[in-house]
Amino acid sequence: MYELKIISQFAAAHQLREFEGECEKLHGHNWKIEVTACGNRLEKNGLLIDFRVIKAATKKVLDGLDHKFLNELESFKDSNPSSENIARHIFKSLSRELNDEKVKITKVTAWESDSACASYTET
Ligand SMILES: [Zn+2]
């Protein structure tokens, strides 16, 4: 099994509902996003998938979050824009875009600070 990882980031504001603590107030984070893709078979050129393809798809998803107030987005209408749900949203969006018989998104991690992150995986 080959595993590829790319790292990207976005900045946004959020406010956690039904949460007692600092994150209940409106504030922002610079989220660092790690996207992991896996597969067994390489192309003839020795690549699983071009990093640029993963990066471009990730950029498209993150552009929808960057400099937004996440609570107002359709994607977080029914769920808190927590790092957990942000990771899940990115995972689902990228899986729809990139998964095929050779490559699958296996994990998305959202770092909301240098010392705290949440990951979403379905494997
Ligand atoms: Zn927060």
- pLDDT digit string, tens, across residues 42-56: 999 999 999 999 999
Residue 20: band (very low, low, confident or very high) from pLDDT cuts 50, 70, 90: confident
* C-alpha 121 – ligand 1 centre gap (Å): 21
* C-alpha 15 – ligand 1 centre gap (Å): 7
Dig out the tokens for 46 from the structure.
């020795």
* C-alpha 24 – ligand 1 centre gap (Å): 8
* C-alpha 73 – ligand 1 centre gap (Å): 16
- pTM of the complete model beyond 0.85: yes
Residue 32: band (very low, low, confident or very high) from pLDDT cuts 50, 70, 90: very high
Instruction: Confirm if 113 and 29 have CB atoms less than 8 A apart.
Output: yes
Dig out the tokens for 63 from the structure.
């552009």
Q: Give pLDDT, residue 46.
A: 96
* C-alpha 26 – ligand 1 centre gap (Å): 8
With H, G, I as helix, E, B as strand and everything else as coil, classify residue 44: coil
Residue 18: band (very low, low, confident or very high) from pLDDT cuts 50, 70, 90: confident
